[in-house]
Amino acid sequence: MAETNLHKSLSNSSQEDIIYVDEQYNSPFKCSICRRIFRDPVITQCGHTFCRKCTSSAILCPYDQQVLQTFVSNYIVAEQINTLLVW
């Protein structure tokens, strides 16, 4: 099977699609709000990364208590997660 077939975009899949995730390597890629691997990761104005869905329910950043207002897609983190996932 070609390597390109092993990787899918996390944003296009469901949790059930993940066959194996090395938890040790992915621990820095977990959202501190939902405690799961980032899904559609966004970076805040204070520089922290969370799942986009989690930011809709959070008012303050869990790390520094800044008000969460601005969210930009964190493509670098998303790509790192995709390279570590085995499908």
User: Higher confidence at residue 23 or residue 42?
Assistant: 42
Range of the domain at 62: 3-84
pTM of the model as a whole: 0.66
User: For 27-51, what is the mean pLDDT?
Assistant: 92
Closest CA to 41 of 56, 28, 53, 23: 53
pLDDT of residue 28: 84
- CATH of residue 79: 3.30.40.10
Residue predicted with more confidence, 30 or 16:
30
What value does the mean pLDDT of the chain take?
77
Q: Which two tokens stand for residue 45?
A: 């104005």
Band of pLDDT at residue 48, cut at 50, 70 and 90:
very high
Task: Note the helical H segments in 7-51.
Answer: 23-26
- Structurally, the chain folds into a number of domains equal to 1
